[in-house]
Structure 1
C-alpha cells in the first residue's frame, strides 16, 4: 500500500493504543463476547444514478494477517499467489443496490476497504507481493476511467471503526454509519446540499494549478480530484506549491521554539523544536535531542511521509503527526503550541492545503479525512462503537 494511504494503519494503531491493545491484539472477555465474527453492512444507493453498482470488501484478516477478500456472507477468501507481471485477481465483486434500493452484506474482522464502482467492475491484479490496488494518478491504470470510491474500516474484538476518506482522492459521494447497541445510529461523511459540485467548482476557482487535480472522462463525466500529493507526482501541481510557507516556518523556529504536546491525555509529555540550518531538532524536558526532521518539501507535507515519516512509536511518530497536521492546516506560524485543534484557525494562510480546506468546507459536519493525519484534533470523518449492531454506507446524490 502506498505510504500516502495512512488512515487504516495509522488509525488502527492509534485506536489499539487508546483501548490498551497490542497491534497483534488481546482483548477482554467482555469485548470479545460483544463483537461477533461478522456484522451486517447495509449499502443504500441514493446516488440518483442508473448504472449498476459493484461492491468489494478487501483487506487483511486480523486473526491471521492474510490478505484477501470477503464475499457477501462475510466468508474470507485469501488471495492466490500473484505474478510478475501482475496476474488478474479473482472476481471479488458483489452486486450492489440499484438506485433507491439497499443490499445488506456481512463484513468480517478485517482491516480493509469497501470499494464501490458505478457502471463497470474494478480491475484488481496480484503481484508476488500481494494486491495491486487502483492508482488512478497513473494514466495507464485500468481503473482510470471508472467512477469509484471506497470506505475504510477495522472490525476487531474491540469494536468497529469505519470512515470516509479523501486521502487519495475526492470522488463519488457517500456517508458511513454505525448502529449502536442502544438502537441509536451515528453517521458522518455526508456533504452539504450542493457540496459535491461545490467542491469541484471551488477547486476550479483556486489559482496555482489546483484545478489540474480534477480528472474527467472523455464523455464529460467528472471522475475525481486527486489529492495534492498525487498531483505533485503527476505534475498537476508544482513541487514548490508549499515552499513559501515551509520557508517561513523554518525561519520562525530558527529564533523561537515550537512546543509539541502530542498526547491530549498526557499534558506533561512535551517536545521542543528549534531549527538549525536545514534541520528541526526536537528535545525533551531534559534537553536531550529525541528526533530531528530535515526541512520538508510539499510532497512530504501532503503525504505525511518521506521527510515527515511517522513510525508507529511513542516519540517521532506523534511529533510527525502533529507537524504534518500543522503544515497542512497552516497553523504552525500562528500558534507555537501544537497541535492546534481549533478548526477556526485552520487553512487561514494563503499557502495551505487548499484541497483539504475545500473538502472540509463542504462537509455537513465539517469532518473529513482529507490528508493522512486529519484525525489530529478529531477532525476526521470516523464513527466507532465497541458493540456495533450494524454498519452503513450510503451512496449519496451527485447534486
Structure 2
C-alpha cells in the first residue's frame, strides 16, 4: 500500500511509528516539507497510505480496492468475519504474529486482535493518559514451530497490518488519542531494534480485501500471501526467496565503490544482517546528509531533454494524457495543472517532499508517474510515461534506486512495493507492487 503513500495503507493517523522513547529523526532540517508516510498510491489508508501519505488515490485507478455494493455474499462480522490462515515456514522455534488497524464499523478506532486470534482490543481514550503506556492485554498470536498454522478472524479493518517476529515478541505502546506506537526501524532506541520482524498490509471492507507486501521502509523476512476470491480466482504474491535478504545485502555491498552511502542501508544484530533499510529512511536517520547530489546529473540530463521536446504523461485518470515542457524558468510545466522544480535525491527517494509535495488534482498522478520514472531511472529514455514503460528497462541506468532494484530481484515473482509509487504500472507488463484484491473466500499469509 502504498509504507508510504506506504503505500498505501501505511499511514494511519492514529498510529505513532516509534514515537515512544526518543523522537525519530525527520527530514525537516533538509527538506522544505516533511516526509510523508508512504506515498503509494493506494486505497484508503491510506489504505495505507504511501508515505503516500500517499494516502490518496492509487497510482492506477484499476488497482483500487473493490467498490461497495457488489451484491455478493457478505463476509462481514455478521457472517463471522474474515478467516485468515497464518503459517510458519521459517526455521524459528516460535513466530509471533500481531494484527493492528482501524475498526471500520466503529468509527475507525485503532485496535489490536488479541492473542486468541479473534477478539478485538480497542484502547479506550480515558485509559491512555501517558505517552508510552503499556498495552494491557496479550496481543501476541503464537504460530508455533516450523509448519504450524493458526487461523485468525478479523472484523472490517482499514490500514491494517499483520506483523511477524521471530523467537521474540514485539513491543507496542499506546499514546494518548488513543494511538498505537508501532515498532520503528528508524528509531535506534526502539526496543525492537535487534528483533527480526516484518509485516504485510491490508484493508478489509464488507465487499473487498486489499493486501500487499511492502518494502517501502525496509526489507527483512520472507512474507507471501494467497487470496482466493468468491469467483474462484486465485491471486498470490510470492514474497522474498528464502535467501532474499542476504541477496539484497550482497547487492548493496557490491555498490561500495560506486557510492559508500549505500552501505548504511544494512542493519546488523550480533554480526548478522537482520534488515536492509530504504535509502529514504537512511536519509531521515542521518538528517538528510546521505546520498547528497546522487541524482543531480541524471536530473539535469532529463531537464535538458524536456527543454527540447515534450514529456508526455498518461495520468491514467480523468485528467487524460498531459504534456509537459521545461521552460526558461527551469520548471517542468504542465499547462493549467502545475509545475515541478528539479527534484533533489531526497525528493526522489521520498516521492513526497518539495516538488513532489503537491498531490492536488492532476498533480497527484503526475507526481506518482514522474517520481516512479526517476526511481526506476527511465525518465531520460522514455518520453511517454508510463505508456512505453517496460519492466525489463527499469533500473538499467547506473544512477538508480538500487535498493528497489535489488528488492525486486530478491522476490520470487519480482513484486512488492519498494518505494512509495511502485504501483505505477508499465501497461501490459507485470505489476510491480505485489497486491491481491477481491471479494475474499480464503486468505492465507505465510512467513518464511
1:131-142 alignment runs, 5 A limit: 131-142=180-191
The equivalent of 2:265 in structure 1 is 213
Deviations 1:148-191 (A, max 9, x none): 00000111123111111101000011111112335553211323
- Given the alignment of the two structures, is residue 369 of structure 1 paired with residue 417 of structure 2, yes or no? yes
Q: Judging changes above 3 Å, is the alpha-carbon distance between structure 1 residues 26 and 75 closer, same or farther for their aligned structure 2 residues?
A: farther
Q: 2:192 aligns with which of 117, 120, 143?
A: 143
Give me the whole-angstrom Cα distance separating, in 2, the residues matched to 1:343 and 1:137.
30
Q: Judging changes above 3 Å, is the alpha-carbon distance between structure 1 residues 98 and 362 closer, same or farther for their aligned structure 2 residues?
A: same
- Work out whether residues 83 and 153 of structure 2, in 8 Å CA contact, stay in contact via their aligned partners in 1: yes
- Work out whether residues 59 and 368 of structure 2, in 8 Å CA contact, stay in contact via their aligned partners in 1: no
Give me the whole-angstrom Cα distance separating, in 1, the residues matched to 2:183 and 2:110.
16
The equivalent of 1:328 in structure 2 is 375
1:1-399 alignment runs, 5 A limit: 5-8=6-9, 10-13=41-44, 14=57, 18=61, 27-28=68-69, 30-31=71-72, 33-37=73-77, 38-50=81-93, 52-63=94-105, 64-71=107-114, 72-81=116-125, 82-83=128-129, 85-90=131-136, 91-111=138-158, 112-129=160-177, 130-181=179-230, 183=232, 185-192=234-241, 194-207=243-256, 208=259, 209-217=261-269, 219-235=270-286, 237-263=290-316, 269-276=320-327, 277-283=329-335, 289-309=336-356, 313-339=360-386, 340-377=388-425, 378-386=431-439, 388-396=440-448
Unaligned 5+ segments in structure 1 are 284-288
Query: RMSD between aligned alpha carbons?
Result: 2.8
Q: Judging changes above 3 Å, is the alpha-carbon distance between structure 1 residues 176 and 62 closer, same or farther for their aligned structure 2 residues?
A: same
TM-score in terms of structure 2 length: 0.78
The alpha carbon displacement at 1:3 in A equals 5.2
Give me the whole-angstrom Cα distance separating, in 1, the residues matched to 2:302 and 2:62.
35
Deviations 1:312-332 (A, max 9, x none): 654111111111111110110
Q: Judging changes above 3 Å, is the alpha-carbon distance between structure 1 residues 297 and 128 closer, same or farther for their aligned structure 2 residues?
A: farther
Deviations 1:34-84 (A, max 9, x none): 43332111111111222x221111011223221222234433332333445
Give me the whole-angstrom Cα distance separating, in 1, the residues matched to 2:63 and 2:169.
40
Deviations 1:281-328 (A, max 9, x none): 212xxxxx2122232222221121112546665411111111111111
Q: Judging changes above 3 Å, is the alpha-carbon distance between structure 1 residues 75 and 12 closer, same or farther for their aligned structure 2 residues?
A: farther
**Local SS of the residue matching 2:71:** helix
**Local SS of the residue matching 2:378:** coil
Q: Judging changes above 3 Å, is the alpha-carbon distance between structure 1 residues 353 and 220 closer, same or farther for their aligned structure 2 residues?
A: same
The alpha carbon displacement at 1:110 in A equals 0.9
Q: Judging changes above 3 Å, is the alpha-carbon distance between structure 1 residues 117 and 20 closer, same or farther for their aligned structure 2 residues?
A: closer
The alpha carbon displacement at 1:193 in A equals 5.8
Q: Judging changes above 3 Å, is the alpha-carbon distance between structure 1 residues 2 and 127 closer, same or farther for their aligned structure 2 residues?
A: farther
Give me the whole-angstrom Cα distance separating, in 1, the residues matched to 2:371 and 2:233.
35
- Work out whether residues 57 and 113 of structure 1, in 8 Å CA contact, stay in contact via their aligned partners in 2: yes
Q: Judging changes above 3 Å, is the alpha-carbon distance between structure 1 residues 2 and 26 closer, same or farther for their aligned structure 2 residues?
A: closer
TM-score in terms of structure 1 length: 0.87
List structure 1 segments (4+ residues) > 6 angstroms apart after TM superposition: none
Task: Count residues with an aligned counterpart.
Answer: 383
Give me the whole-angstrom Cα distance separating, in 2, the residues matched to 1:26 and 1:335.
33
Unaligned 5+ segments in structure 2 are 11-40, 45-56, 426-430
**Local SS of the residue matching 1:206:** coil
The alpha carbon displacement at 1:359 in A equals 0.9
- Work out whether residues 259 and 272 of structure 1, in 8 Å CA contact, stay in contact via their aligned partners in 2: yes
Give me the whole-angstrom Cα distance separating, in 2, the residues matched to 1:157 and 1:311.
32
